[in-house]
Amino acid sequence: MCGIAGVARIDGGMLTPAADELLRDLACTLAHRGPDDERLLREDQVGLAFTRLSLVDPVGGGQPLVSEDGSVVLIANGEVYNHRELAASLPAGARFKTQSDCEVLLHLYQRDGLNFLDRVNGMIAVVLWDRKRGKLLFARDRFGIKPLFYHRNRERIVFASEIKALFADPATPRRLDWSGALADYGMSSAPALVHEPVNTWFEDIELAPAATVMEIDLKDGSTREHRYWSLPGAAADSDASDEEYIARYRDLLAESVRDCAMADAELGLFLSGGVDSSAVAALAGQSGLRTFSVLTGSTVLNGDAEWSHRAARLLGVPNEQILFDRDRVPGIEEWKSLLWLTETPLCSPEQFYKYELHRHARLRYPEIKGMLLGAAADEFNGGYAIGYAGGGDWDDFLANIGAMARRTSLDERPRMAGWWEVCDLPLLKDAAVSAGRDGGFADPYDAFVAWKYRSLQQYNVWHEDRTAAGNSVEARVPFLDHRLVELVTSIPAARRANLLWDKRILREAMVGILPEELINRPKVPFFHGEGQRHTYRTFTRMLAQGGDALLEEAFSSERAREFVHQDGVRESLRRLERDPENGSVEHLLRLVNLGLLERMTAELPVHPAAAFKAPEPVTYPYSAWEESEEHIRELTLRRPVVDPEAVYGLRSDTLLAHVPAQPGTWYLLVDGACEFVLDEDEEPALTALLRSLDGETSLEKVLACAGLSLDGLRPQLEDVLDLGLVVEAAPKGAVRVR
């Protein structure tokens, strides 16, 4: 992983020595991406800046790389995994000056022109200067794993691996795009299948498109784009059996992991205990591979912490769990530093935890320069099918994503919406919405996959790159091998339910490689679902610290006050303080992030290599989960004090409801909506306790009258108290039971 940047005249003029200062500023801003080396080049119309993190050929692989005849100059960020195979395909006599994996790109360009990336397997962002033809090329890998942003005017173009580097150029505007950001579906989490270009969040800042070569004429700035890869659609039919698909998938994944493990430096791995990261760990085949996991209240309750520990023991690899106890709240400057590093309003708890894992790994083991990830397995392998099925099966999944596709189309043609609003039965087919429009999808699943392809670029690979790069680490993603993606997206539509429901193709491929319990462990969210309130509580406290200091700073600008309803924002924060699950801290955080980013562009922070650093993360040492679980829960979970002499009742907006036709089943309703279902056969003690709490009698007496023991009920009572469903009450009134 490296930092690449530069400036070029695109009006036929030449750069002057004044450009040298800009090149130095660009390199300085990107120093975190490449602490091992820095090189600058300015000649004629083009200036290049390169900062290097050396994972392959540490001694001789510096850049810029220049072709043997001097006609082509290249800087690149990333890895070409199949560089040896590509080098072997070159004509006899092709000479290499280094052992760098990227040098082969020079030869491929001279042989194949704009098609030079067709056979490349890797993750790369490339800037190539063809001196002879007077062209400047930008190119990125198929999934946009490696970033490349730019700003251009009539005279010149400035480009860099990160947006913040562009702001080192006085001629580049520093304006947050409030309208574009607030209208982005990702910001509001609206259920729609979006296929528009990736949002850069700032006005006049563009992102070189993935899977594309851009060619810019340095004489007049004219630009053409050559798309060298697109997501394939489903094959009409296939002679291959399900077993053959699974075997082919296994072989390709094993090859991809081997490719990603290629390095002349040490690698680590983020381990969640799910099938994705466990598969990468097993296929990496490195017994000493260090693995790192997140230990929070959320990962304790959803099982990730325990399962990552178990997976490491089963696979025979060391595992370190970075502890985020219940008092660990990101500080104000700490959050702002992370936000500026990620430079996206979508920065959230996920980025904080992953950044800290990278930071621990790099501080504790400086030799680790790359991190293997299990990320991006869900997007193309059916990992989200169960979630979007809403408790149903594959057909329900297809119906629900079809409704999302229709919503997206109706947003573009709102006058058609009435046909779906006037009747609870369908009157028109979805094809009616897209009739006469180009670029639609006949198959909702294809539209879903295309949306995931876009969201990967907007969110996943963006933040995986920044949280790693901020610690001078390169993130490697074996599941984003184009051969794997081509295989699963080409599965005939009629075969998808067999192979892609709940990632069956991956789970079956791991038979004989992973233990059965790891293969069949259900997918769980990183911190959503069970235990979500513990993460929400942490970040609510972050926003509220210092008298709402982050809110005050974020909404102090004129533009922020124009768009953001500050009273509503503050009341939203107060509600989250009272009940961490009464709203979404992530939605609130996105608005705060927008305001903070605007403030930061007005007064640029220090570059990430010199930014604020919190104390070194700590790990929780244990040899067996069972022996340490109680202590871990004490550290990570907020456990309310249960007072036997206190009087408890259901919260004022909570009802315990019973339907006579369903004996033994009780419903906890919050604000009229059913939040929990209790089965007397499965949880008899908790059900009896909740039925007995009357808001007038002490807990001790309630338990005695119901024949219940506090010791046996304490964990459940602590949970309902922590959720705020049961509260300490004055001894008057009664809990309403229907």
Model confidence pLDDT, tens digit, residues 380-412: 999 999 999 999 999 999 999 999 988 888 888
Residue 626 domain-assigned? no
CB-facing half-sphere around the CA of 557: CA atoms within 13 A:
19
Kind and range of the H or E run holding 650: strand 648-650
Q: Which residues of 56-83 are buried (b: 16+ CB within 10 A; e: fewer)?
A: bebeebbbbbbbeeeebbbbbbbbbbbb
Answer whether the bond into residue 64 is a cis peptide, omega within 30°.
yes
In this prediction, residues 490-513 reach a mean pLDDT of: 97
Residue 418 domain-assigned? no
> Do residues 124 and 257 both lie within one domain?
no
> Do residues 670 and 568 both lie within one domain?
no
Q: Which among 711, 535, 723 is positioned nearest to 640, based on CA atoms?
A: 723
Order of all β-strands in the sheet with 368-372: 319-323, 290-295, 266-270, 368-372, 474-476
Percent of the chain clearing pLDDT 90 (strictly above): 72
- Which tops the pLDDT comparison, 438 or 659? 659
Asked if residue 430 has pLDDT above 50, the reply is yes
> Do residues 353 and 207 both lie within one domain?
no
Q: Environment class of residue 578 by beta-carbon count within 10 Å: exposed (0-12), middle (13-18) or buried (19+)?
A: exposed
Phi-psi region of 553 (alpha: psi -120 to 50; beta: other; left: phi over 0): alpha
**Per-residue tokens: 286:** 């490195």
Rounded to the nearest integer, the mean pLDDT of the chain is 92
> Do residues 280 and 368 both lie within one domain?
yes
Confidence class of residue 738 from pLDDT cuts 50, 70 and 90? Answer: very low
Asked if residue 734 has pLDDT above 50, the reply is no
> Do residues 567 and 597 both lie within one domain?
yes
Entry pTM: 0.91
* Dist. CA 473–CA 270, nearest whole Å: 13
* pLDDT attached to residue 732: 44
* pLDDT attached to residue 730: 62
318 within 8 A of 142, measured Cβ to Cβ: no
> Do residues 95 and 223 both lie within one domain?
yes
> Do residues 70 and 134 both lie within one domain?
yes
Domain boundary among 582, 605, 628: 605
Residue 10 domain-assigned? yes
Q: CATH number of the domain that 150 lies in?
A: 3.60.20.10
Residues 6+ apart with CB under 8 A from 342: 351, 462, 463, 466, 467
* pLDDT attached to residue 735: 44
Residue 111 domain-assigned? yes
**Per-residue tokens: 65:** 């790389």
* Dist. CA 360–CA 618, nearest whole Å: 8
Length of the chain, please?
738
The single residue of 2, 28, 102, 347 carrying the catalytic annotation is 2
pLDDT in tens, 2-27: 999 999 999 999 999 999 999 999 99
* Dist. CA 175–CA 27, nearest whole Å: 22
Asked if residue 182 has pLDDT above 60, the reply is yes
> Do residues 160 and 272 both lie within one domain?
no
φ and ψ of 208, to 5 deg: -55, 130
> Do residues 14 and 103 both lie within one domain?
yes
* pLDDT attached to residue 437: 62
By residue range, what is the domain housing residue 158? 2-175+189-227
Percent of the chain clearing pLDDT 70 (strictly above): 98
Confidence class of residue 423 from pLDDT cuts 50, 70 and 90? Answer: confident
pLDDT in tens, 619-670: 999 889 999 999 999 999 988 889 999 999 988 888 888 888 888 898 888 8
Query: Of the ranges 239-243, 404-408, 449-453, 535-539, which one carries the lowest mean pLDDT score?
Result: 404-408
* pLDDT attached to residue 436: 62
Q: CATH number of the domain that 696 lies in?
A: 3.90.930
> Do residues 274 and 299 both lie within one domain?
yes
Q: CATH number of the domain that 246 lies in?
A: 3.40.50.620
Q: Which amino acid is located at 263 in the chain?
A: A
* Dist. CA 79–CA 146, nearest whole Å: 10
> Do residues 84 and 215 both lie within one domain?
yes
Asked if residue 284 has pLDDT above 90, the reply is yes
SS (H, E, C) 252-270: HHHHHHHHHCCCCCEEEEE
Alpha-carbon distances of 30 from 80, 152, 168, 461, rounded to whole Å? 21, 20, 11, 18
Residue 416 domain-assigned? no
Looking at the 3D structure of the chain, how many domains does it have?
4
9 within 8 A of 156, measured Cβ to Cβ: yes
Residues 6+ apart with CB under 8 A from 296: 305, 324, 353, 527, 531, 534, 535, 538, 636
476 within 8 A of 139, measured Cβ to Cβ: no
Residue 447 domain-assigned? no
CA torsion 206-211-212-213 (nearest 10°) is 110
Residue 117 domain-assigned? yes
| Residue 335 burial (CB count, 10 A) | 23
* Dist. CA 357–CA 485, nearest whole Å: 28
> Do residues 349 and 258 both lie within one domain?
yes
Domain boundary among 497, 519, 541: 519
Q: Is 423 a catalytic residue?
A: no
Residue 526 domain-assigned? no
Domain boundary among 554, 581, 605: 605
Asked if residue 366 has pLDDT above 80, the reply is yes
What 3-state DSSP class applies to 581?
coil
